[in-house]
Amino acid sequence: MKRIAIVDPGSFVLPYDFHLVKALAANGRTVDFYGSTTRYNGEFLDAMRALPGVWVVARAISSSVAPRWRGALAYAMQLLSLLWHARRYDIVNLQFSGFWPAEVLVFGWLRRKFVFTVHNAVPHGFEGAQHGPTRRLAERARRLVFVSEASRDDFLRRYGEAFRAKASVLPHGLLPVTPTAPVVPYTSTTVPRTLAFWGRVQPYKGVELFADLARSAEVQRRGMVLAVHGAWAPALAPLREELGQLGVTVRDAFLGDAELLTLLGQDAVFLLPYQRATQSGVHYALLNHGRLFFCTDTGDLGAFMRRHGLEGLLLRDRTPEAVLACLDHLAANGEEVRRKLAAAQAALQWERLLAESGEAYRA
């Protein structure tokens, strides 16, 4: 049996890569991973090297460890190494684009083996309907893999139904925040007093909701504690300062493993008040760690809640009143919510997903 090559040039989605590779290895496949060393999440590379049948080729490509010119040179060497070993592979899977002019040439050459995973139809912040490099790569791919039905539907809406014939969905699985973190069962049915956000704080993530919550008389009456954890985009510095003045706990930093595990061990409801999103890795990390969360009805977030009968945890809008309505639903239906979240955990185990929906990785 030939090998599978997984390519993520900047290790952009390294936790996702790790769990995909781990599930493939558990299924008896041999895998070569082409990625980057990285300032963040490097423990996932180390853990991947320890998996049976897995070979890791990591160069300093990510901007977190190399200047752009050096990273570009390292990626060129990475692609040359991929081509040199191409006869080993029956599948070459690109997870994320790093430098599309070179990728169009390399993966065009490998098109009979080329599987392209589409995490987002267009890059975050891109305003056009179609992203030219994404379309060019999709045209050259033998198969397209989408990580949610929402990402597939968005892609087909933008680029056309002609791509449907080679499209499949491998649903996003659970994302433990460390390679060895276990699935944490849902046990508590109490309503936490802390409302928290965790993740990179970007303009589209709707964190301004926390300013409205801090000003809400009802939130204050209930004695709710508000907190935002994660590295902030520079453009949002005024909002960060405003939240601090309103009494919201703000932790502006990338959280290490120990800090993350401590945070995810706290009794809190996490808010995902995104203005728009295809899917969210934070969502699948919270699910893995047995945390309660409310989210807006956008992309895979809304689809997940409906699929698992959790509509009561969907924010009808990004207002304090909507958050309070979800808290009231949780208070009235805690045991039912716990059972449904536990069922979702079981459904989104990686090996199960790969067995049920991993046809793109079968030669």
Residues 198, 335 within the same domain: yes
Please report, for the domain that includes residue 236, its CATH number. 3.40.50.2000
Note the pLDDT tens digit of each residue in 116-161: 999 999 988 788 999 999 999 999 999 999 999 999 999 999 999 9
DSSP 92-155: EEE-S-S-HHHHHHHHHHTTTTEEEEES-SS-TT--SS--HHHHHHHHH-SEEEESSHHHHHHH
Burial class for 75, CB neighbours closer than 10 Å (0-12, 13-18, 19+): buried
Where does the pLDDT of residue 169 fall: very low under 50, low under 70, confident under 90, or very high at 90 and above?
very high
The pLDDT assigned to 40 comes to 84
**Amino acid in the structure at residue 59:** R
Q: Is the pLDDT at 232 greater than 90, yes or no?
A: yes
> Is 187 inside a domain boundary?
no
> Is 156 inside a domain boundary?
yes
Note the pLDDT tens digit of each residue in 8-19: 999 999 999 999
> Is 57 inside a domain boundary?
yes
> Is 189 inside a domain boundary?
no
Residues 77, 56 within the same domain: yes
Q: Which helix (H) or strand (E) holds 209?
A: helix 209-215
Residues 13, 79 within the same domain: yes
The answer to whether 148 and 300 are in contact (CB under 8 A) is yes
Note the pLDDT tens digit of each residue in 183-212: 999 997 788 999 999 999 999 999 999 999
Residues 67, 100 within the same domain: yes
**DSSP strands (E only) in the chain:** 3-7, 31-36, 54-59, 89-94, 114-118, 143-146, 167-169, 194-198, 225-229, 249-251, 269-272, 292-296, 314-315
Residues 235, 290 within the same domain: yes
The answer to whether 160 and 139 are in contact (CB under 8 A) is no
DSSP 8-state assignment for residue 327: H
Residues 167, 301 within the same domain: no
Tokens matching residue 125: 């912040």
Rounded percentage of the chain residues whose pLDDT exceeds 90: 91
The pLDDT assigned to 155 comes to 96
Q: Is the dihedral of CA 301, 306, 312, 318 positive or negative?
A: positive
Please give the torsion angle defined by the CA atoms of residues 8, 273, 154 and 171, in that order, rounded to the nearest 10 degrees.
60
**Amino acid in the structure at residue 94:** L
Residues 280, 229 within the same domain: yes
The separation between CA 284 and the C-alpha centre of its own chain, rounded to angstroms, equals 7
Coil, helix or strand at residue 208: coil
- The Cα 93–Cα 29 span in angstroms is 14
Residues 199, 338 within the same domain: yes
- The Cα 324–Cα 277 span in angstroms is 23
Mean pLDDT of 53-82: 94
Candidates 77, 113, 128; CA nearest to 98 is 77
Q: Nearest 5°: phi and psi at 298?
A: -135, 135
Q: Is the pLDDT at 213 greater than 90, yes or no?
A: yes
Residues 96, 237 within the same domain: no
DSSP 139-175: HH-SEEEESSHHHHHHHHHHH-GGGGGGEEE------
Mean pLDDT of the chain: 95
Rounded percentage of the chain residues whose pLDDT exceeds 70: 99
Residues 76, 213 within the same domain: no
Tokens matching residue 313: 């945890």
Residues 293, 164 within the same domain: no
Q: Nearest 5°: phi and psi at 35?
A: -150, -160
> Is 38 inside a domain boundary?
yes
Note the pLDDT tens digit of each residue in 290-334: 999 999 999 899 999 999 999 999 999 999 999 999 999 999 999
Coil, helix or strand at residue 317: coil
Structural domain count, the chain: 2
Q: Is the dihedral of CA 333, 335, 337, 339 positive or negative?
A: negative
The 10 Å CB-count burial string (b at 16+, else e) for 110-134 is beebbbbbbbbbbeeeeeeeebeeb
The pLDDT assigned to 359 comes to 93
Domain that holds residue 291: 194-347
The pLDDT assigned to 124 comes to 80
Residues 241, 324 within the same domain: yes
The pLDDT assigned to 1 comes to 60
Residue 320 CB neighbour total at 10 angstroms: 19
Burial class for 306, CB neighbours closer than 10 Å (0-12, 13-18, 19+): exposed
User: Could you tell me how many helices (H) and strands (E) the chain has, helices first?
Assistant: 15, 13
